[in-house]
Amino acid sequence: MKSMWDSVKMQLFYQWKAKYVITLLLFLVVLCGFSSYAQYSSLQQKEYRFNNTMEMYEKDGITLKQALSEDLEIKKDGHSEEISNVLKYDYYRVIAAKVALNPLNAPNQIFTSVAIVFLPIIFGIYSCHVAFFDFKHGTIKNQLLLKGYTSLFFSKLLSIVLVAIATVSATVLISVGIQFVFNSVMQVQPNVSVHYLAKLPLQAVYQSVGLILFGWFFFLLTTAIRSTLVSIVTLFLYMLLIPNLGGFDLKNLMLLTVSKIYNTSAATMDVASGESTNLIVGYVVIFAVFAVLTFCVYKWDKKRLCPKL
């Protein structure tokens, strides 16, 4: 166990020296900055719509107080909505947007907006480079002689798991810090309510699991085909072009999970709803398939690199 842990620490050191970690952190800063800007823009749009709606209601002699005292019903028909009390609806959307700009609510907001798509892409690319590192630098033979294939393969995989957890933790801290700075610079007065903090531990755990799954799969894919380009193209196609496959598709499971553990009332991206399926069975199937893939890739690549004489 100590030997494996030493190998993992060495892999993390290599990733640091290769500036993979620094690059990942820079992407996280950009991602969090963009999330704060998108949240601010969303508030402005909602305030503009609310003001227009308010003018229309005032022309009809209806005050905001009267509108808020009436019921609000929202009927959904496919992708369209029928709203019975538009002023009340727009008012609460503005309130939700102001709450979302509270720095302590920033982690919930980034995990329900740009991070849904781009964080798995960023970390998938990171994992592809980790898998191809020794081939890129021509150190694979030395690593095999020093550590053996088993230690090399699983230390890289475990390092990806640790970096995934660290990535989510860093995203939480960076998003809070950037939102605080953004509010100060733009002189934003957010709502002081902190509605989303109670679920942050569960959200962070789930986000870590999601990144681990993406990193795990694209590590295996790159190990098997020895091409970061093909793996990265596959990643972009899956995340951006291939539609939701439903059932036990990982994207479908993530879409179903997001609405259960995150507050999406002020999300800056319209997230498609997933097709109904059993979440527990779905994740069990995903982990089982990944375990089989890991065994197959490990055995095949070991035989390819270390053939028996």
Residue 107 · residue 31 · CB < 8 Å: no
Residue 2, pLDDT above cutoff 70:
no
Residue 299, pLDDT above cutoff 80:
yes
Q: How does DSSP assign 197-245, residue by residue? A: GGGHHHHHHHHHHHHHHHHHHHHHHHHHH--HHHHHHHHHIIIIISPP-
State both tokens at 215: 């990193």
Residue 154, pLDDT above cutoff 90:
yes
Residue recorded with tokens 């009927």: 75
The answer to whether residue 57 is domain-embedded is no
The answer to whether residue 188 is domain-embedded is yes
The answer to whether residue 62 is domain-embedded is no
What residues are paired with 77 via a beta bridge? 80
Mean pLDDT of the chain: 87
- Give the pLDDT confidence score for residue 119 in this predicted structure: 92
The answer to whether residue 269 is domain-embedded is yes
Q: Give the lowest-confidence range in 158-167, 189-198, 279-288.
A: 189-198
10 Å Cβ neighbour count for 102?
A: 23
Instruction: Pick the closest to residue 152 from 306, 292, 293 (CA basis).
Output: 306
Q: Can you give the residue range of the structural domain that contains 158?
A: 2-38+102-305
pLDDT digits (tens, 9 = 90+) for 118-150: 999 999 999 999 999 888 888 888 888 888 899
Domain count along the chain: 1
- Treating both helix axes as pointing N-terminal to C-terminal, what angle do 200-225 and 228-236 enclose, rounded to 10 degrees? 140
Count the residues in the chain.
309
Q: How does DSSP assign 64-103, residue by residue? A: HHHHHHS---EEEETTEEEES-HHHHHHHHHHHHHHHTSG
pLDDT digits (tens, 9 = 90+) for 55-114: 888 888 888 888 888 877 777 766 667 777 888 888 888 888 888 888 888 898 888 888
The answer to whether residue 63 is domain-embedded is no
pLDDT digits (tens, 9 = 90+) for 59-76: 888 888 888 888 777 777
| Residue 94: φ, ψ to 5° | -65, -45
The answer to whether residue 260 is domain-embedded is yes
10 Å Cβ neighbour count for 42?
A: 21
| CA gap 249, 215 in Å, rounded | 16
- Give the pLDDT confidence score for residue 271 in this predicted structure: 63
The answer to whether residue 66 is domain-embedded is no
Start-to-end CA span in the chain (Å):
29
Question: 193 falls in which pLDDT band (50, 70, 90)?
Answer: low
Instruction: Pick the closest to residue 200 from 108, 96, 269 (CA basis).
Output: 108
- Treating both helix axes as pointing N-terminal to C-terminal, what angle do 279-305 and 250-261 enclose, rounded to 10 degrees? 140
What residues are paired with 55 via a beta bridge? none
Residue 309, pLDDT above cutoff 50:
no
Segment (H or E) for 291: helix 279-305
Residue 294, pLDDT above cutoff 50:
yes
Residue 169, pLDDT above cutoff 50:
yes
The answer to whether residue 291 is domain-embedded is yes
